[in-house]
Amino acid sequence: RDLLRQCLASLLRQPQGVPFEVIVVDNASADGAADMVAREFPQVRLVRNPANVGFSRANNRAAALARGRYLFFLNNDTVVPRHTLREFVAFADANPDVGMVGPRLRGADGEFQISYRRRPTVGALLHRVSLLRWTGLFRRAYYAYRRDAFDPDGVHQVEVLMGAAVFLPRAVFESSGRWDEQYRFGGEDIDLSTQVGRQAPLVYIGNVEVVHHGRVSS
């Protein structure tokens, strides 16, 4: 609830430079978050799911209600600096061939977070199997997937953008098949990046930054 309050305040109580709407989909939270939104942010469109339907399905429901030509999917444990939305829109307008854009993510501790990565290889996935992890056989493949390609500065075409904050045209979102609802929580950003990447480039822009607490919802 408190992190969601910070997120919404960062969007709505400082200038963002473009007209926008905010939709919050509450997945049956139990800490009063939905009531807080209704009470403190009446301009937000609030959807209360009776059960936790998962990250992908909730995102798709929000997208179906949204009216903008661009969609910005944002985790609730984020803080968005002023004029961030203007920066996204300006970049997207100037680069209509780009399919999806992601910002640099910085943790609450001030350290950069991995904001994009490669698509996982079989070796990287095998490292996550507990019996194989201890052998170290696939450790190198895993770290190449997770970290080796990340450069926090500049603008880069990438393979996978982190789902904490992704910005894309509505038309691209619809034509790529939207968020795959077979994923309940985790992996769906790899899937969306792959689907979008089949039709248009994914771009990381390091000059636009979003604070991301991380590991809150999980």
pLDDT at residue 137, as a whole number: 62
Give ∠ CA 187-100-213 in degrees, rounded to 5: 55
pLDDT at residue 119, as a whole number: 72
pLDDT at residue 129, as a whole number: 66
- How far apart CA 50 and CA 88 sit, in angstroms, is 33
User: How many CB atoms within 10 Å of residue 49?
Assistant: 16
Instruction: Please report where in the chains the tokens 């894309």 appear, as a residue.
Output: 168
Work out the angle between the directed axes of helices 33-40 and 2-12 (0-180°, nearest 10).
30
End-to-end Cα distance, the chain: 15
pLDDT at residue 173, as a whole number: 98
pLDDT at residue 190, as a whole number: 94
- How far apart CA 184 and CA 186 sit, in angstroms, is 7
β-pairing verdict for 100-106 and 45-49: unpaired
Contact yes or no for 41/12 (Cβ under 8 A):
yes
Question: Which of 55, 87, 64, 66 is CA-nearest to residue 20?
Answer: 66
> What is the H or E stretch that residue 46 is in?
strand 45-49
β-pairing verdict for 155-158 and 23-27: unpaired
- How far apart CA 80 and CA 127 sit, in angstroms, is 34
pTM summary value = 0.89
Spans of the chain below 70 pLDDT = 120-148, 217-218
